[in-house]
Amino acid sequence: MNLPTCISSNRKIRYTVCFVILITLSVLFFIISVCAGSVQIPLSDIWRQFRGEQDELYAAILFQIRIPRTFAAILLGGALALSGYLLQTFFHNPIAGPFVLGISSGAKLFVAVVMIVFLRYSRTLSSVDLIVAAFAGSMLSMFCVLLMSPRVQNMSFLVLIGVMIGYICSAVTDFLVTFAEDSDIVNLHNWSMGSFSGITWENVKTIVFVVAVTGILTFFLSKPMEAYQLGETYAKNMGVNIKMFRVLLVILSSILSAVVTAFAGPVSFVGIAVPQMVKRLFRTAKPIIMIPACFFRWGSILHVL
Amino acid sequence: MEERELLHTDGLSVGYHGKELIKEIGISLKMGEIVTLIGPNGAGKSTILKTIAKQLQEICGSVYVENTRLCELPEKELAKKMSIVFTERITPELMTVADVVAMGRYPYTGGLGILTPKDEAVVAQCMEQIRISPLKERNFMSLSDGQKQRVLLAKALCQEPEILILDEPTSYLDVKYKLEFLSMLQEMTRKKKIGVLMSLHELDLAERVSDKIVCVKGKNIEHYGMPEEVFTDGFVDQLYEITDGTFQEKSGCVELKKCGGIPEVFVIAGNGTGSFLFRQLQRNGIPFAVGILGKNDIDYPAAEALAVQVIAAEAYQDFERQHYEAAKQVMCACRKVICCQTVFGSQNVLNRQLLQEAEDCGMEIELWQK
């Protein structure tokens, strides 16, 4: 007699089908977003571009604007969803996400400061500067939330603190904007609307690097993360180094939401929604499935932007 | 044969935030042994268990796991030696029963936590042992509290520990599963060569299943020893400061507070015919007296706990004239006699005379049978 196995074959099929659907959707949306826009480019023409029969207008639109944007959207969408998933796991709270906990707002504040101050003294601002600023901002917000967390018994109160920090950061940002020069504000305003316009290949390289490194690190955290879902007491008893694990989780989720905020502005929806949708779709919350799945589920939403 | 010692504490003090709650704790757990902590709510049983499970810092002294100090033992090593079921409720999202049980393999799996066929066999075997296999595809959150408790126990077993630490493991279980659970613990400690350290609220069960009992109260361990040494008459009432009733150490039963005052009803009982009536009278708030009862009668503990007065003869002694006279006096002061007995033999012939006497006096008599 066969011993009953824990992961039934049913589930394996479900996972496979879901992944296939997600990847197909991703490819589909990739194509749509490359084709569609104010200048419609038929598929056949795109194929021709890749074969080397260059049409200068199309080539410029495709390679300078649309393809880098699309890549950025894929990666940043994935990063945001992942960051939301990490925070939801960390706080054991489905409402947690980078925006709710004030992390995006913290990042936005710092980016605003950097944009206004830097642009006044020098005319250039590299993508690395933005990431560093956004990371510093998100870490600061996260730190404030964490500082309060041991004193708070109720998790919903913690979310409240996050929202408060978010408002404070927004208020300070608004204050800065009021007193800044018009030219600086235009940049900031465009950025804070959450857009992928103006993404260059240079940006995409940075994004790939940051997101790949943090994404892989996150994937290797999936084992303790699963244990952590049973609560701290049991996780500790199973041999998880809780302190280390928490620090890593906080840093990784902050980096992920920082990189998104730096390039695409504070996008709120994906961080909360995607992990929930993916969980329902796969009918599991196993990190080892969720981490890659969240990443692929970017498409349909962010791409519309 | 002296069994191997799995765990001991030496001058251990436990508490929260550096404040000592209980000090000088010296308990030891040997292989194949069940040690149970009892004591009032809030006495610190859970605090002791949490400290031993390395969830709380020791304040003073040390916990030793096979002669290695707890703080020197790497977490991974400890996870293979000790597993826990605590009272903390867990809310894992979208995890099936099998998933939760499989988490017990954590210390044994590789970097990504993927189960090998051997791991899966252990998981299946543990679920079989706790009889939760039919539930394995169910969502953990949809189970009842008792079922969750059993799943967590299966998870703990799946960790293949030598030491099992359980905080009030029977709280949510019904009587069938309580007994099944404790028999299972016994079986495991005998067969698998593990030791169990737990806290229990059910004193009757604690007394029956434990090899050693630890009584936690106040700043110290009040008593530590075998159940028969600990459960002496009146000890539990004193340990828990029970005033609204009594705990019967001999039977492990509890009785509510007796109704005081002048007895209104005289009960003639014996051989287990009276206990239900005593409780009924107590519920109705009627003070009563009981006679004549041998001290070895099974009605005696309940009578002693609930009746205002019991006219009793020493165990194995015949009822004497003096008992009869005393009983008659008490009976005549009552307004009613209830007789539970239908069988009168040579030993309780005086009880029949007592009944006859009541009839002759024209007292109200009720024959009562459950």
* pLDDT tens figures, A3-60: 344 456 778 888 888 888 888 888 887 887 777 767 777 777 777 777 776 677 777 7
Q: Which domains does chain B have, with CATH numbers?
A: 5-246 (3.40.50.300), 258-367 (3.40.50.20)
A236 and B75 in contact by Cβ < 8 A? yes
Strand partners, B338: B267, B366
CA separation for the pair B7, B68 (Å, rounded): 9
- pLDDT at site A8: 62
Please, which pLDDT band fits residue A303 given cuts at 50, 70 and 90?
Answer: very low
Q: Does B361 touch chain A (CB under 8 A)?
A: no
The pLDDT of residue A300 is: 44
Give the pLDDT confidence score for residue B211 in this predicted structure. 94
Summarize pLDDT for B216-230 with one digit per residue, the tens. 988 888 889 999 988
Q: Which residues 6+ apart lie within 8 Å of A37 measured at CB?
A: A61, A66
Q: Which residues of B touch A243 (CB under 8 A)?
A: none
Distance from CA of A225 to the nearest CA of B (A): 10
φ, ψ for residue B56, nearest 5 deg: -125, 155
pLDDT band at A197 (very low <50, low <70, confident <90, very high): low
Q: Which two tokens stand for residue B89?
A: 């409720």
Pairing outcome for strands B163-167 and B82-85: parallel
CA distance B285 to B288: 9
Encoding tokens for residue B212? 């050693």
Q: How far apart are CA A260 and CA A302, in angstroms?
A: 12
Is the pLDDT assigned to residue B94 strictly greater than 60?
yes
* Count of A-B CB contacts under 8 Å: 96
Contacts of A217 in chain B (CB under 8 A): none
DSSP-assigned states of every residue in B39-57: --TTSSHHHHHHHHTTSS-
**B94 to A5: CB separation less than 8 angstroms, yes or no:** no
> B103 and A233: CB-CB below 8 Å?
no
Of A3, A6, A237, the CB nearest to B84: A237
Does A61 score more than 90 pLDDT?
Answer: no
CB-closest option in B80, B88, B117 to A231:
B88
The pLDDT of residue B360: 92
- B236, B308 in Cβ contact below 8 A? no
pLDDT of B266 higher than 50: yes
Record the tokens describing residue A125, joined without a space: 């601002």
Cα A267 from Cα A258, distance rounded (Å): 11
Pairing verdict, β B5-16 and B60-65:
antiparallel
Q: What is the ipTM of this complex?
A: 0.81
Strands (E) across A124-273 are located at: none
Mutation to test the B interface, candidates A2, A236, A237, most B Cβ within 10 Å? A237
Q: Would you say residue B339 has pLDDT above 80?
A: yes
Q: What's the confidence (pLDDT) of residue A6?
A: 43
pLDDT digit string, tens, across residues B189-220:
888 789 999 999 999 899 999 999 999 988 88
d(Cα B189, Cα B35) in Å, to the nearest integer? 11
Mean pLDDT of A278-286: 80
How confident is the model at residue B212, as a pLDDT? 94
pLDDT (tens digit, 9 = 90+) per residue, B13-37?
A: 999 888 889 989 999 999 999 999 9
User: Which pLDDT tens digit goes with each residue over A208-261?
Assistant: 999 999 999 999 998 999 899 888 889 999 989 888 888 888 889 888 888 888
For residue A70, pLDDT beyond 90: no
Element (H, E) at B95: none
What structural domains and CATH numbers belong to chain A? Answer: 13-302 (1.10.3470.10)
pLDDT digits 0-9 by tens, A104-115: 888 888 888 887
Query: How many CB atoms neighbour CB B45 within 10 A?
Result: 25
The better pLDDT of the pair A292, B60 is held by B60
Which pLDDT belongs to residue B2? 64
Q: Which two tokens stand for residue B333?
A: 């002061």
Long-range contacts formed by A292-296: CB under 8 A, 24+ apart:
A292/A19, A292/A219, A293/A18, A293/A19, A293/A22, A294/A78, A294/A81, A294/A82, A294/A84, A294/A85, A295/A78, A295/A79, A295/A81, A295/A82, A295/A215, A296/A19, A296/A22, A296/A23, A296/A26, A296/A78
Hey, what amino acid is at A102?
Answer: G
pLDDT of residue A155: 66
Q: How many CB atoms lie within 10 A of CB A53?
A: 11
